[in-house]
Amino acid sequence: LSVPQIHRLLAHSLYCKQISKPWLEPQTHKLTKKTQLRMPSQSLFNKTVALLFSKRSTRTRLASQTSVSLLGGNGLFLGKDDIQLGVNETPRDTARVIGGMTEGIFARVGEHEEIEELAKYSPVPVINALSSLWHPTQILADLLTLHEHSHLFAQLDPKADTNPNYKTMQTSVKSRKREKVASLPELRPLTVSYVGDSANVLHDMLVTYPRLGHSLRVASPPKYRAPPEVWRRVEELGCDKRIWWGEDPKEAVKGADVVVTDTWISMGQEAEKAQRLQDFQGYQVTETLCREGGANPNWKFMHCLPRKQDEVDDEVFYGPRSLVFPEADNRKWTTMAVFDLFIGRWDISADSSKPFE
Ligand code: CP
Ligand code: NVA
């Protein structure tokens, strides 16, 4: 997605949240006649989305299944022991067959090539629900969370709006007022630090955050750096100019408005556990690390979950800096917007006078 499209998708996620929440939690929302009349578009009515998970999932599964329901569709969960894929059938044949009976495929796979193969042969849209290389829907939830909490960053650096993408966002927020979408709170360019393993979540941060005007500071042990195919994409998009990458976690958190990490042992890497625990010593996110490293005193914390204490201690994870649970909730609304766009009927370019990249 281009930068304006990302902003529009986030605004649409917020709209999905705002119209679904009063309906889901009537006791906490005063239902006026107007809000009662609003409900999510039934753009998946009579449609089935195959939710193909060859790995475990809590958030992505919940987000997809519940949001398909809210859009009026049927989410068909297909776990790794439910279908022939990977045992008796190839991704190519599976894509053709599932795509023949459903309107979209949301797939969590092992190797990234598997999702490429599904996308190549599927007659319906295929959306990546996590692969060895990328986790795109996670980053949308992270961004929505940051926008929703933009007031926490607002006063920290008032002169930081020198980035052209920041202006693009302000313009697109204004033009959106005419449309039936929520207004996305403005977010100033941030310094986002990532301490830990270079895995799928970080890879999507690398190709997204710099385009939105945010700077990334990453620390990982040398042998855990982004693979060449990810780095190629980073350079193609010109994101490398806003990325600092080193080995020292303290240097990485210098000036951080947000600190992010992920598990040191991603799904499928269990056999490397002992080695990884040893290699990542010193990379745990703690108050001390961020204080000594010179993070912004008001820094916030994000993590895609599931989380282990190895990579972040309880004080940070359950403390007031942590945005992890709003971030997890936002998986639902961003996934809903993604389905509405790629499988439903939401037109991301409607009412826009601006051409997209
Ligand atoms: N963040 C995330 O993708 O969580 P799950 O693996 O539980 O879906
Ligand atoms: N890097 C983690 C993310 C889990 C959401 C993994 O791939 O297991």
For 191, the 3-state DSSP assignment is: strand
pLDDT at 183: 84
Q: 255 and 110, same structural domain? A: no
- Is this prediction's pTM over 0.95? no
User: Does one domain contain both 106 and 159?
Assistant: no
- Using a 6 Å CB cutoff, which residues line ligand 2? 130, 199-201, 262-263, 266-267, 304
Separation of CA 19 from chain center: 21
Residue 16 · residue 340 · CB < 8 Å:
yes
Q: Are residues 13 and 93 in the same domain?
A: yes
Contact partners, residue 42, CB within 8 Å, separation at least 6: 71, 72
Per-residue pLDDT tens digits of the chain, which is 357 residues long: 999 999 999 999 999 998 887 555 454 445 555 555 567 889 999 999 999 999 999 999 999 999 999 999 999 999 999 999 999 999 999 999 999 999 999 999 999 999 999 999 999 999 999 999 999 999 999 999 999 999 999 754 445 444 444 444 444 444 444 445 578 999 999 999 999 999 999 999 999 999 999 999 999 999 999 999 999 999 999 999 999 999 999 999 999 999 999 999 999 999 999 999 999 999 999 999 999 999 999 999 999 999 999 999 999 999 999 999 999 999 999 999 999 999 999 999 874 433 333
SS3 content of the chain, % helix, strand, coil (to 5): 45, 15, 40
The ligand whose atoms approach the alpha carbon of 59 most closely is: 1
Same domain, yes or no, for 220 and 171? yes
Let me know whether 159 and 269 are in one domain.
yes
Expressed in angstroms and rounded, the spacing between residue 257 Cα and the centre of ligand 1 is: 24
> Which residue has the least CA distance to atom 2 on ligand 2?
266
Rounded to 5 degrees, φ, ψ at 244 are: -110, 135
Q: Identify the residues whose C-beta falls under 6 Å from ligand 1.
A: 57-60, 130, 138, 304-306
Residue of the CA atom closest to atom 1 of ligand 1: 304
Spatial contact of 198 and 182, defined as CB atoms under 8 Å apart:
no
Please indicate whether residue 304 is annotated as part of the active site: yes
One-letter amino acid of 308: K
Please tell me the number of the ligand nearest to residue 302's CA: 1
Residue 348 resides in a domain: no
- In a domain, residue 356? The reply is no
pLDDT of 18:
85
Q: Which ligand is nearest to the CA of 112?
A: 2
Q: 125 and 210 share a domain?
A: no
Residue 114 sits in a domain whose CATH number is 3.40.50.1370
**263 C-alpha to center of ligand 2: Å?**
7
Output the CA angle 204-210-213, nearest 5 degrees: 135
Residues 50 and 195 both lie in one domain: no
Distance from the CA of 118 to the center of ligand 1, in angstroms?
A: 21
User: Given the CA of residue 132, which atom of ligand 2 is nearest to it?
Assistant: 7
Q: Give the list of residues 6+ apart from residue 313 with CB closer than 8 angstroms, or none.
A: 284, 285, 286
Structure tokens at 120: 């190549």
Q: How many domains does the chain have?
A: 2
Answer yes or no: do 126 and 144 share one domain: no
Please compute, for residue 313, the number of CA atoms within 13 A of its CA located in the half-sphere on the CB side: 10
What pLDDT, on a 0 to 100 scale, did the predictor assign at position 81?
A: 95
Q: Which structural domain range is residue 9 located in? A: 3-134+331-342
- Please tell me the distance between residue 112's alpha carbon and the centre of ligand 2 in angstroms: 13
